[in-house]
Amino acid sequence: MRNPIPVAGPWITPKEIDYVTDAVTNAWYGNANLYHERFERAFADRIGVRYAMALPSCTSGIHLALSALGIGPGDEVIVPEITWIASAAPISYVGATPVFADVDPKTWCICPDSVESLIGPRTKAIITVDLYGNMADYDRLVPMARRHGIKLIEDAAEAVGATYRGRPAGSFGDAAVFSFHGSKTLTTGEGGMLLTQDQSLFERSSFLRDHGRDPGDFSFENGEVAFKYKMSAMQAALGLAQTERLDELITRKREVFAWYARHLSDVAGVVLNDPGPEVEASYWMVSAVWEESFGLDKRQVRDVLKEHGIDSRPFFSPLSSLKAYQHIPGIHSNRERNSVSYRLRDNGINLPSALCVQQTDVDFVCGVLRNIFER
């Protein structure tokens, strides 16, 4: 029996092992922050921004950004329907209200027309999500945010290595965040990064991330009740090694996508990630969406794949459909207003996209998928 084909997972080499071994051996005392500083500088340089802050998660990065921007009770923040709840949960952490926008039917990223229709007097920020390694329409979203005097936070958790008109994911927002979860292209096991060009936003975030203390404070003089959001030296060492190998990791992700595209591009009614002409996607997940006319939902397709030892993930359900958000007044109107998101909900899955996946694995997966969709 063949081993299960994983949907996500890292590519670790002796370089990562050597860096982490050095960190666990030497990154103490006066060297405690050595790998943090190297990782943050290397990653900031890669994205092309001034400031980077290594954190325990992408979620903590969004929380810090919202807090540092002064967003709180009475405010609204627009976020796309199709994303992991981590993109929206920090809005509730700070006491603000999430407002869910529809997504583009091709890119599956937040739809600018939907965003424009939702901006009101209480709107303080837009959180864009570069879904599955694709990127949102920043030609429209960045000027829109500026025109309305609201902030833009770019959730690039899934899009490290992607570019929009040649600019890297993570370089478009007033703040941007990345995830380094164990499933991500670049991993620290658990972890994240907050990026910004804004010195005041960075300094405020630095203050909030360490229990409301000024950086370098050794007197334990806390100015506010704040948070504890730090990454370990071992994680930072792993992240540095992975950042130095990022081109290799992204090349492999694009290669895996090309294998799927070659097999499935002629299957009528089934589409894979569509980045559009402005985007060079990094394909964290290879995703397949099929027409409703197949009469198949994502649970049925995943069950068949599982029978063949193939791991998969369901396409995200609209956030407004989750039990967690049913308390929001008028939430049920989202089903009609955000019709693209609700149409995608049952007809999409993420295919095995782990960095260890081989071409023979993709050949096998695609053979099973063709049998499902062509029967």
Q: Is residue 7 part of a domain?
A: no
Name the average pLDDT for the chain.
97
The DSSP call for residue 194 is E
Q: Is residue 48 part of a domain?
A: yes
Q: Is 313 helix (H, G, I), strand (E, B) or coil?
A: strand
CATH of the domain at 187: 3.40.640.10
Give the Cα separation of 212 and 194 in Å (integer).
17
pLDDT, one tens digit per residue, over 120-136 is 999 999 999 999 999 99
pLDDT along the chain (375 residues), means of 10: 88 98 98 97 98 98 98 98 98 98 97 98 98 98 98 98 98 98 98 98 97 88 96 98 98 98 96 95 98 94 97 97 97 96 96 98 97 89
**Of 228, 244, 260, which residue constitutes the final position of a domain?**
244
Together in a domain, 32 and 136: yes
Together in a domain, 88 and 209: yes
Task: State the pLDDT at residue 216.
Answer: 83
Together in a domain, 18 and 112: yes
Which strand (E) or helix (H) includes residue 305? helix 298-307
Domain count along the chain: 2
Question: Range of 324's domain?
Answer: 246-374
Contact 246, 20 (CB under 8 A): no
Task: State the pLDDT at residue 199.
Answer: 98
Q: Is residue 31 part of a domain?
A: yes
Task: State the pLDDT at residue 1.
Answer: 53
Together in a domain, 345 and 263: yes
Task: State the pLDDT at residue 218.
Answer: 84
Q: Is residue 222 part of a domain?
A: yes
Together in a domain, 124 and 107: yes
Give the Cα separation of 116 and 118 in Å (integer).
5
Together in a domain, 201 and 148: yes
Together in a domain, 98 and 175: yes
Together in a domain, 235 and 267: no
pLDDT, one tens digit per residue, over 199-251 is 999 999 999 999 999 888 888 999 999 999 999 999 999 999 999 999 999 99
pTM: predicted TM-score of the whole model, two decimal places = 0.97
Together in a domain, 237 and 268: no
Q: Exposed, middle or buried: residue 295 (CB in 10 Å: 0-12, 13-18, 19+)?
A: exposed
Together in a domain, 235 and 285: no
End-to-end Cα distance, the chain: 25
Looking from the CA of 251 toward its CB, the CA atoms found within 13 Å total 4
Q: At 288, which amino acid appears?
A: A
Treating both helix axes as pointing N-terminal to C-terminal, what angle do 14-26 and 233-244 enclose, rounded to 10 degrees?
150
Q: Is residue 9 part of a domain?
A: no
Together in a domain, 69 and 187: yes
